[in-house]
Chains A and B, each alone.
Chain A
Amino acid sequence: MVEFLQNIFTNDIVITVLLSAIPLVFIIAYVLVVLYTEMKISAHIQDRLAYMITGWHGVLQPIADMVKLLLKEDIIPERADRLLFRLAPYITFAATYATYAVIPFSSIYIGANIQLGAFFILASSSLVVIGILMAGWSSNNKWSLIGGLRSAAQMISYEIPTALAIIIAVVITGSMNLQDVTIFQDGGIQNWLIFGGPFPLTKKLLLLPFTIITFIILFIASIAEVNRTPFDLPEAESELVQGFFTEYSGLRFAMFYLSEYANLFVVSAVVVSLFLGGWSSPFGSFMSGPVWGIFWFVTKSYLLVMLQIWIRWTLPRIRVDQLMHVSWKVLTPWLFVCLLAVGGILVMV
């Protein structure tokens, strides 16, 4: 993609801007779709219809929602820390958007082909915590503060299982570059890491239980990273109004909302790239190619996003001490065992 653009434009700055604007366009289109999907799925699970009036069965409603958020009055509380209050949504969104740079959407497009892709993702998703803490503190509101602190505790605790699961995938494939990991899994559904990877059968069968457990744990940890139910203590709607972004309205709220859904896609995309084959087609060479790659990648990530929506409307929220118990006492030890087992199998078999 870079070479293709270099043939058209000679200016490097223009090429960089174009390459980095592609995920932004994708995010905006995706947010409209996922808002509609979430509303409809949550409504049908609860035996009700949602949004039937605007457009056929309400397809134009997300646009109406975004327009409404843009037109709302911008309220800043009187005693709020003005600089932090204004800065917080942008930091959160920038950190989430930075993660999009290293995700391979297709075999020809990856924003920044760096060799430390997975590490970079972990680092920039920690920046989201800073944005949330700033939002919670600067709102001058007890409940926002509690929400912000809970969110910081939760995200930091669940970074450990995420990092360990990513390490396991990296150990199997030997590279942190997500594009290399995806190419490693190319060739059909049997080559996906969740099914053991492109190894001979004995190695695969030995690796299989550990990679499945790792996939499940990575998925759970990624739901916790994005503050979705059952881990949505920071935005516990019935306890803290809206949690750390209670005092935000209009465009600032839209930035937080946008970054929440963008984050949702990014963690699903990371799980898909590492364990479900990224942009490679499950049929091997049938329906594969650069453009098909985008289709497969977006479809698989979107299916995981829908799975997260499904879980959201199934489970109640867990308490903060149960949250810590799950992270430190369940997910992390199991991942250590998986890491040791995977390392041992790779060395000895």
Chain B
Amino acid sequence: MSAVATYFKNIFHALYTVLVGMKITGSRLFKRSVTIQYPYVKKAIPERARNRLYVNIDDCIGCNQCGMACPVDCITIDTIKSTPDVDLGMTSKNTKKRLYIAKFDIDFAKCCFCGLCTYPCPTECIYMTDVYEYSEYERRNLIYSFATMTPEEIEMAEAKLKQYEAEQAAKKSAPPIPPKPSQPSNPSDGSTAS
């Protein structure tokens, strides 16, 4: 094609494509946008979404399986053994609880939402909810404490445990009670061992 023809062809091609482009953008100008206005309108999130954890502390037996399973070590659990005369109640799976939960902290700044802590829990007391809007202004507000023991209760439990263990230790180390001597048989036929 000669240069002149190419020149004109290019000009008309350019003008034509500009008009085609303008038609497309012009038509999109009048179509509804797909944006949703987030704080006022929220999209529903899937049913089994893995977001913030929740612990039902009444069911927790203090086994620390979740703490051991966590890959980033965000769960910290401190327990106190209970003495045999205290009844801590039953879990929902009808097992007896034997430990006081003094501290159950989850640091959500570290939590990576993998869900590995939810699988080993024997009573299924730790599970993931669908809450995702929990930003805080200070980082320490992201450490959630789920334990419900007050410091006085913890002191009392510890003191009780100490006392019980002291008693147990004292029992173990006391001198053995000499066995009661068995009654010598009464020699009724007169033979005496001399």
Contacts and interface: CB of A to CB of B under 8 A. Distances in A.
B31 to A, nearest CB: 7
Interface in B15-30: 18, 21-22, 24-26, 28-30
B37 interface: yes
Contact of A314 (B11, B18, B31, B34): B18
A41 B29 contact: yes
A48 B35 contact: yes
Contact of B33 (A49, A313, A314): A49
Contacts of B30: 44
A41 B28 CA distance: 10
A47 B25 contact: no
Contacts of A314: 18, 21-22, 24-25
Interface of B: 11, 18, 21-22, 24-26, 28-31, 33-35, 37
A337 to B, nearest CB: 13
Most buried by A among B11, B24, B35: B35
Given A41-B29, A44-B29, A45-B29, A315 B18 contact: yes
Contacts of A49: 33, 35, 37
Interface in A153-177: none
A47 B31 CA distance: 8
B26 A47 contact: no
A52 interface: yes
Contact of A310 (B22, B33, B35, B37): B22
Interface in A47-103: 47-49, 52
B21 A47 contact: no
Contacts, number: 37
A241 to B, nearest CB: 26
A311 interface: yes
Given A44-B33, A47-B28, A310-B22, 13 more contacts: A41-B29, A43-B33, A44-B28, A44-B29, A45-B28, A46-B28, A47-B31, A48-B34, A310-B26, A310-B29, A311-B22, A314-B24, A330-B11
Secondary structure of the B contact surface, majority rule:
helix
A338 to B, nearest CB: 14
A256 B28 CA distance: 31
Contacts of A48: 33-35
10 contacts: A44-B28, A44-B29, A44-B30, A47-B28, A48-B33, A49-B35, A310-B29, A314-B24, A314-B25, A315-B18
A45 B28 CA distance: 5
Nearest to B30: A44
Nearest to A329: B7
Contacts of A41: 29
A272 to B, nearest CB: 20
9 closest Cβ contacts across the A-B interface?
A314-B21, A314-B25, A49-B35, A45-B25, A48-B35, A49-B33, A44-B29, A45-B29, A314-B22
Contacts of A52: 37
B13 to A, nearest CB: 12
A315 B31 contact: no
Interface string A291-323: 000000000000000000011011100000000
A330 B29 CA distance: 31
Given A41-B29, A330-B11, A47 B22 contact: no
Contact of A315 (B21, B29, B35, B37): B21
B18 to A, nearest CB: 7
B180 to A, nearest CB: 91
Most buried by B among A49, A310, A314: A314
B50 to A, nearest CB: 29
A314 B18 CA distance: 8
A321 to B, nearest CB: 14
B25 A310 contact: yes
B64 to A, nearest CB: 47
A43 B35 CA distance: 10
B6 to A, nearest CB: 12
A315 B29 CA distance: 15
Contacts of A44: 28-30, 33
Contacts of A46: 28
A204 to B, nearest CB: 24
